[in-house]
Structure 1
Amino acid sequence: MASIARALRPLARSATASSRKVRPSFAKSAPQIRCLSATAPRRDIDISEIPPTPISHLSETENLMADSVSKFAQEVILPKAREMDEAEAMDPAVVEQLFEQGLMGIEIPEEYGGSGMNFTSAIIAIEELARIDPSVSVMCDVHNTLCNTAILKWGSEKQKKELLPRLATNTVASFCLSEPVSGSDAFAMATKAVKTENGYKINGGKMWITNSMESDVFIVFANLDPSKKYKGITAFIVEKGTPGFSIAKKEKKLGIKASSTCVINFDDVEIPKENLLGKEFEGYKYAIGLLNEGRIGIAAQMTGLALGAFENAARYAYNDRKQFGKLIGEFQGMQHQMAQAWVEIQAARALVYNASRKKEAGQDFVRDAAMAKLYASQVAGKVSSQAVEWMGGMGFVREGLAEKFFRDSKIGAIYEGTSNIQLQTIAKDLQKQYTN
């Protein structure tokens, strides 16, 4: 299969070139928008003259991305999805092909070997992969929206030149923030770093780290000055194989079982000063910005999962399963349930794509990302549960994908900010907006 990224690059370059021709006349007088985003506001596009379009409208490049990733997922991932779930391991050939297709460096510029596409293209890829296997989707998501973005935004020129070509072509990365007592309260972390003559020494442990079995590069957050509390948190780049670094335990999980989730230990892990990511004591800002963007990716994973569960069950209900001499999809009770599910899926997708477009436009999207993740995870859980019921016994057995989608859906309400954290984010923003 030809590389998806290679096929789409000319279109992406053409779109970028045409957008640069338009310069806003009001740019100097426009109010500056401050948002906790790892992406700088766009100043090269004047959208005031562009006719409004549906939120779900995709560019030619984005449409081709959706079609290409869908085909790739159907042909390459689907035949292995059940086997990988049962083995609780990602097939190395799938990982290799994700790189070959350019899906692990979607936003990395071409000069570093990446695909050079926009954030929404990454969201589209994540959603399409999740329609077949949410485990593969989350590998792509974390690698692109958290790890690649961290290096692109805060990496030194040396780090970009050394790491980005690897991350785009053959090296998986992990984002190491959570700890046993530092999940929702991410900044209560106990992992510490101290300065040494040649760099830094890290001690502590991380938990629930996605991609850790496959990764060779780890973005690690540690407190360089506990007296500053969360403001002492600093980000570092740690390579697998560094003395003192170890993967202690691989978790056995309810869902997304092919995605590796591990405990990582740091025992006097010494890294050179060149492995500092960005600036000292700025790690908490980096983590907030990255997680706000990453939530859009998780929301896309959940909408993709909901679509996959719905489509799998709908085909069975409309074509195969009969009761009382009729296909069950012909009963009004079933039709109404399926119609309601479809409405909720599309509402969740609208939230996801709206948050993605606002991020690309440099607007404040924090509330939008929280709403998208909250609602998409709720819809994924509800629809995947209904899909099992619609399929009856065939939905309950491990022959097909229905029960797998149901199990995989639960994680959406937990990682990258639980549903309660999303509600709190939304509530705080509303309070700020409506307080006199």
Structure 2
Amino acid sequence: MAELFGVDLGTHLASIIAEYSSKESIYGYPKRKFYLGFPGYDFSVQFHDKIAATPLGPASGPHTQLAQNIVLSFLGGGRIMELKTVQIQDRLEIPRPCIDARNVGFNVEWSQELRLEDSLREYVNAWILLKVIEETGMLGIPKGDPFYQTVFDISVGYDLAGISSPEVHDWLKRIRNAKAEIAAAKETLPAEYDAVKNLDIDPHIADSATLSTFHGCPRDEIEAIVEHLIVEHKLHVIVKMNPTILGYDFVQRTLHEELGYTHIELDREAFEKDLQFGEGVEMMKRLQVFAEKHGKRVGAKFTNTLVVKNHDEIFQDPVMYLSGPPLHVISMNAMHWFRSEMGDDFPISFSAGITRHNFPDAVQCNMKPVTVCTDLLKTGGYTRMSGYLKALRDEMEKCGAKTVDDFIIRNAEAPYQAEVARAGVSNEARIVPALVKDPR
């Protein structure tokens, strides 16, 4: 199977302009399905110290690897882009197929399929393309409108040796300030794109990272990586937790007895090796103090995929990784448990089995971003994303809310409506226990 590769900025611009003028579509995404906002509704959220126009985003994975992937996510309404994970080992042999999304999701995918340099080029090109879309007003929304507020979030893995290596260290420095890379991309453009060459583009592409670690990565190494990212790269950091943090017995009972996925066999050894719940809580409490001293924020993402034994013939590996509806229930429980220990205002992002049906409930729980992957592998792809925001608008309309914060507050029980953080906890206390009856 052919290797993945990107194309140059000029090719992207020519494609977008020609296709939009002739077909009113971009990369095959028809204008009639673009997310163009809903008059009177404000979906904006704060992510670390930036504002994003919606809480929705594509999860780090196949939907955030190439420049066109990120543009398509934007057209669907994604505004917090969790970029595909980069790591020191950038010459991987990726098995094909590596994803099975026929029903629930399984994969044997890993990090980026591109070289580090190529990944950076894709993210820079995407950043420029989104600026061009805004500057031209081609979507019918004037430049400068909050509609365009988009955040790029780095995803990096998987151990301290790799992340502190000269190659990854340099990569992180360059995406933090991509002035040279943006200038180089502009230089490749022919004269017909002089207007693009003259655009003033913010070189600071990302100031936050979501950390993904190897299964079984020791607590002290995770902690050291977060401290390294904060001190060396001045990044806000989200630690992606594994669903194994709930313990083997709870996950097996949920998966087999409550949800009925008895054909899925867990790997008990993975639960024993992975970060345990108590040490995860204590680690994050220490990191909160550390981050605050350095003027940064830390939080947790729930969750990574769940390692299970391979029971099918699609993949050759002895284990594979579960996503989709069953993971949604497990990960929502993990989030609820963890926040109960960390406090109402502990920053949490989420990715596990998100669909248009459960997206509004996830937003009610005061999580940001709420990211999606497996559902976008279904028919319709990126065009499904605008449906999540329509579903959110419909639920906001029902309770009379016009902003995300107001939506969270209005759905909480009366004693918890004084502030958003408390309201989010009230909502999750109602939503999470009911999931086993309607996992969606």
The higher radius of gyration belongs to 1
Q: TM-score, normalised by structure 2?
A: 0.23
More helix by share: 1
TM-score (norm 1): 0.23
